[in-house]
């Protein structure tokens, strides 16, 4: 007899949108949903998909693409997506400023807009479609939400805010049939973390801090995203799961 969880990771006929799916973690998540049968659309900052050809960490093959600058709430509100049904919304957009630029009001505000305000704007925009599909929202925050990141107060506050937003929307929208959850990656080699991975000394220090002794990959994150969007996680609501090789344990 069929088990209720047979085919749990089959996303055939599902529509997925990954904001920040043009590169890195979001791109890995987008490609994983595509490999499991979903129609997947991604957004990024460049004008067209062709502008990502050859870019490390960007594989747009088989994905729909639209430019969308999430530093503008107006742009998010105005964007007309090329689909009218949405089963899974993944919010993986993010930025960080180095060189103490987050210790200035403009820098702080910019990071909060891209990493936190835009989450709410995207969530609000797609809430009706997610409700209609009894869908799932997945927010990519960070282990930074749970420990200090001395050089990056804005990044830290934005990620802690994302965890709170997931908790609250998880609670508020559960009654609408929408499951809201999050992933808190530890350290993943992407263009955002090149500043560390390209520096052998910094990289060695980072690896020493990870109990599993290796960096995470976009595929590591994608596995958890598939789980959270699937019936395997049918009763998981408002949680942000650290996916960090044990980084937060010591
Ligand atoms: N890498 C890590 O170790 C790590 C750890 C914890 C959490 N995270 C989080 O994971 C998420 C993905 O980051 P990543 O590491 O995969 O870095 P990434 O490769 O730089 O990806 C960031 C994504 O966000 C998009 N983006 C940035 N600013 C945007 C804007 N103003 N409007 C629209 N899209 C914008 C980028 O678009 P373009 O491709 O056009 O640049 C890209 O798709 C972020 O939320 C990040 O904070 C990463």
Is 248 contained in some domain?
no
Is 127 contained in some domain?
yes
In this prediction, residue 138 carries a pLDDT of: 99
Q: Tell me what the mean pLDDT of segment 199-228 comes to.
A: 98
45 lines ligand 1 (CB under 6 A): yes
In this structure, what CATH number is given to the domain that contains residue 73? 3.40.50.720
Is 249 contained in some domain?
no
118 lines ligand 1 (CB under 6 A): no
In this prediction, residue 36 carries a pLDDT of: 98
Range of the domain at 41: 15-188+219-243
- For residue range 17-51, what is the model confidence (pLDDT) as tens digits? 999 999 999 999 999 999 999 999 999 999 999 99
- Exactly one of 52, 65, 103, 155 is catalytic; which is it? 155
Total structural domains within the chain: 1
In this prediction, residue 4 carries a pLDDT of: 94
Is 8 contained in some domain?
no
Is 154 contained in some domain?
yes
**Prediction pTM value:** 0.99
Distances (CA, A) of 21 to 31, 149, 160: 9, 25, 21
Q: How far, in Å, is the centroid of ligand 1 from the Cα of 131?
A: 26
**pLDDT bucket at 209, cuts 50 / 70 / 90:** very high
Is 206 contained in some domain?
no
The residue whose CA has the least distance to atom 41 of ligand 1 is: 45
In this prediction, residue 182 carries a pLDDT of: 99
Q: How far, in Å, is the centroid of ligand 1 from the Cα of 1?
A: 43
Is 202 contained in some domain?
no
* Structure tokens that stand for 217 in this block: 């990959």
In this prediction, residue 44 carries a pLDDT of: 98
In this prediction, residue 172 carries a pLDDT of: 98
Is 37 contained in some domain?
yes
Identify whether 65 is a catalytic site residue: no
- What is the rounded average pLDDT for all residues in the chain? 98
**pLDDT bucket at 58, cuts 50 / 70 / 90:** very high
- For residue range 130-164, what is the model confidence (pLDDT) as tens digits? 999 999 999 999 999 999 999 999 999 999 999 99
């Amino acid at each position: 007899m069929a088990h209720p969880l047979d085919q749990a990771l089959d996303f055939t006929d599902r529509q997925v949108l990954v904001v920040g799916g043009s590169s890195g973690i979001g791109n890995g998540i987008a490609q994983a949903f595509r490999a499991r049968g979903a129609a997947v659309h991604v957004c990024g900052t460049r004008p067209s998909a062709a502008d990502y050809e050859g870019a490390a960490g960007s594989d747009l093959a088989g994905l729909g693409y639209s430019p969308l600058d999430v530093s503008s709430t107006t742009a998010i509100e105005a964007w007309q997506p090329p689909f009218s049904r949405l089963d899974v919304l993944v919010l993986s957009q993010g930025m960080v400023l180095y060189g103490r630029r987050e210790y200035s009001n403009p820098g702080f505000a910019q990071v909060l807009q891209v990493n936190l305000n835009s989450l709410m704007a995207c969530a609000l925009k797609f809430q009706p479609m997610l409700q209609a599909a009894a869908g799932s929202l997945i927010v990519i925050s960070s282990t930074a939400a749970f420990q200090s990141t001395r050089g990056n107060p804005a990044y830290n506050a934005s990620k802690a805010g994302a965890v709170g937003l997931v908790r609250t929307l998880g609670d508020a929208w559960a009654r609408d049939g929408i499951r809201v959850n999050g992933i808190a990656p530890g350290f993943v080699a992407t263009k955002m973390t090149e500043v560390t991975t390209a520096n052998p000394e910094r990289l060695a220090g980072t690896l020493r801090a990870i109990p599993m002794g290796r960096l995470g990959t976009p595929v590591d994150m994608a596995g958890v995203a598939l789980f959270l969007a699937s019936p395997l996680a049918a009763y998981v609501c408002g949680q942000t799961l650290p996916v960090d090789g044990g980084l937060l344990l010591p």
